[in-house]
Amino acid sequence: MPLNAKNKGAEGEREAASFLNSLLPWMDAKRGRQFSGGEDSPDVTHNCPFIHIEVKRVEKPTFNAWAKQLTKDQGKRIGIIMYRCNRGEWWFCVRGTEVIALINKLQGFLK
């Protein structure tokens, strides 16, 4: 991976954590440590143990490739793709079958 792409990815992860904290301060999001992928190296760490966040900051979205990576890395957690195209706003993508589970778990978590 070119150095600029690596730097852009790291910056995107920091931006994503900051954005999450501005929306949900209780989440305490931080950039994760990236080594070789997998469940032990999330893009963003936070205090919601049932969520795995995959961060992408790109020019053009490639959802199929992202979904494969998320499925591989999320384990038993609910997977969320958080992405922003260059000069765009942040978006969240959740697998349709996991939306209700996410809402239910968040309601229980926030009580």
- CATH code, domain with 12: 3.40.1350
pLDDT at residue 32, rounded to an integer: 85
DSSP 26: G
pLDDT at residue 5, rounded to an integer: 74
pTM equals 0.85
What percent of the chain has pLDDT above 90? Answer: 72
Distance CA 107, CA 28 (A): 17
Distance CA 56, CA 90 (A): 10
* Range of the structural domain that residue 39 is part of: 3-109
Q: What is the pLDDT of residues 62-105, one digit of tens each?
A: 999 999 999 999 999 999 999 999 899 999 999 999 999 999 99
Distance CA 65, CA 73 (A): 13
Q: What are phi and psi of 27, to 5 degrees?
A: -75, -25
* Residue for token pair 């920091």: 14
- 38 conformational bin, left if phi > 0, alpha if psi -120 to 50, beta if neither: left
Domain count for the chain, please give it.
1
